[in-house]
Structure 1
Amino acid sequence: MNASHDDMSEKNATHHDAAPCLLFVDDDRDIQVAARILFQRRGINMLSAHDAAEALTRLASHPVALVLLDLNYTKGARTGAEGLALLKDMLVLRPDLPVLVVTGHSGVSIAVEAMRAGATDFVMKPWNNERLVNLVSKTLEKSRVSHSSETDPVLIVASQVMKQCVADVDRIATTRAPILISGPAGVGKMLLARRIHALSNDTGALHVLDAEDCEALPEEDGVWIFRNSEALSPSLQRHLTDRLDERSPPRVIALSSLEPHTLRSRLQPKLMLHLGLVTLKIPPLSERPDDIPALAAHFLHYFSVRHMLPEPELDAVRSAALQAEVWPQNVRSLRAAVERAVIMGGWQASPEGPGNQAEETQTLRDTERSLIEAALRRHSFNVTQAARELGLTRPALYRRMARYGL
């Protein structure tokens, strides 16, 4: 990231700034700089994002009123697939968000496809400055989007297993089939359930029910999300089965921390025939370590904006240390650890983690020291080569070596 420009723009794009905030997603940094200068002259704050994950983080963290969306972020990409996937994710997060597609290599046909997918309009590269500013201004005037950045949590995925899980969700979301989502506490079951609802085109009401406290089923249909579905009372299980047997049943999404085979012993067989029709299982964070650095980067930015504090550094060593940590509450624990790091101005071991786990579990500090020492030994204590492997500058590595007495 171009820190000098991006950091400056983010300071301007605060929750209390009256000027509209625009998010421009494009991997070309020169185009980003030119666009920022253009919009700043017109009193429009601009945030930059260079790929999909960064764009979703900016959208969740800032009061974005409009998005300019390039469709390709990987060198050589021309299909627009990356941008179309990001467009879907952004509209799941903010259904009323105006998005203007910026297209060059992908051409008009992809821009038209993006508009069918929910984009507001498109502009071709190279653009005419006056026409672009006029289009942005008119779109902002027409838009009734609230400039609040309070949104549902963002679903950030990097691992193949979670990408497949999201692909499965997107495929079945438009059906009316009941769905069972299982996985340990804190893995993101509710996020997937809300994504299903957002993509379902269901115009009925959304009811989120805690099975433990549920005494009666909603009278109206729509989408019913049951937390801790295994706790449904026997009478409610019978009533729910009867509703699902109807010709036009509600859409039921059941969430459970139990394994499906264990859940079968807690729910009545006829109800499980419905709920077990489509089953999605989210693995714990320990089984998808590739998601950890992506989630940590997202939470770092989110909480630094929320608390108006600097972001602690997230380098290769720190990412590896986080991947080696134990997260009892999965994403929930990681989120708390990152927020603590932002508030305290530096990384600390999670109070849920090593202190309450087996004795052989390393703390973040121990893990980082071990990683650095191992890299130094592999390179015969050549600091330049070790720093390159760890993704650090020489001064940063020297500081860590001094910290750990290496």
Structure 2
Amino acid sequence: MKKTNASILIIDDQEDILFASKMLLKKHFENIYTLNNPKNVVELLAKKTIDVVLLDMNYRIGFEDGKEGLYLLREIKTLSPKTVVILMTAFGKVETAVEGLKAGAFDYILKPWENEKLLSIVKQAVDKSRKERKKSNDIGIVDEFFVGNSDVIKKAYSLADKVAKTDANVLILGENGTGKFVLSHHIYCQSERKNNPFIHVDLGSLNSNIFESELFGYAKGAFTDAKIDTPGRFEMAQNGTIFLDEIGNVPLHLQSKLLQVIQTKTVTRLGESKARPLNVRIITATNADLKQEVTDKNFREDLYYRINTMEIILPPLRERDEDKIPLAHYLLQKMMAKYGRDEITFDEKALEQIEKHAWNGNIREMENRIERAVILCENNRITVSDLDLEQITTYEENQDDIQLSAVEKTAIEKILFKNNNNISKTAEELGLSRGALYRRLEKYNIN
């Protein structure tokens, strides 16, 4: 039997799981890699192209909430967007896996698994990864992003281009959804460090209990589950750039530890006394008003000035009226490529509504609306109804899950109807496995 030329990475802290899955998968796929320490995934993804990751959701003894797995999932999707992730979880933890599906996982498998089921899911995931890579190559959007022509955004990017050539610390300010990650990566790509690591850390989703071990690393035996010496994110970014997103969310008692690293340009792993030298460019971002946070004694003033050598403000979309229509066309092209659709256009009323809408959720809101429209539109024409803008006057982030669930349910019902309730055809068109589709049918009570 000829093996499929694909690279699979298995991440689990149990050696028997790694061994069993590797033995099974290496009969069918060319390259199988295993990691028993999830922190090494950043280094591996920087060196190799991985098609599919099988990711366990729990790594610390006594913790089974899946938060580490969800955090790793987001990191993998950030570092390697075309890599498809399958979650592995124990029976009874399905609700956590479903949260992972919302965060971008392809599917999940229960442990212990049935070999045929695992093989089937991995093969589907490999196919999806290959299709995604081909789409990106065909339309040439791997490194493209939208800037715009409004004076306010051109000013922000002009400042970014000037500071990129230096090693100055940069603070990016802006509302949620304005493109802070995109700007940080642009600065990195224009810098002298572009051939070295770019490490993204979402401080907003980082539990304070693992803040130090995650950022600074730890020595073997530093705590109960510290099995081997492990570098932190700062060390992983050596000679490159570290992007600390949502820095305004760091608790006050941990800000001093972060300040010490920035001031001394050294890092000390938990359980060690030796300080290790750092050569890292630091970019931070937040949607908070840090000056007010300093005044309110919620953010250290000395830390604020350390990270703020250069401040760049990203304007909200409501201040970029001339960019709304070009951005909508750019996002439409992006979503057409994602879903394999051709020649979709906006009707005139849809464009009028796009121009009038406040877009309080900024670029992220527009992207969600246009993705919904691409899924739902008929006759390759997007209407106001497809965008669902008539009902949306404000954007509340805590409604994201509700909105996305409604979009997903509508899309499934529409495609199921089109395929005369054929599960296989519907699953294929949605890019899901049959099992994943069945779970969604049950979740949304679709008969």
Instruction: Compute the TM-score of the two structures, normalised by the length of structure 2.
Output: 0.43
Instruction: Compute the TM-score of the two structures, normalised by the length of structure 1.
Output: 0.48
Which of structures 1 and 2 has the bigger CA Rg? 1
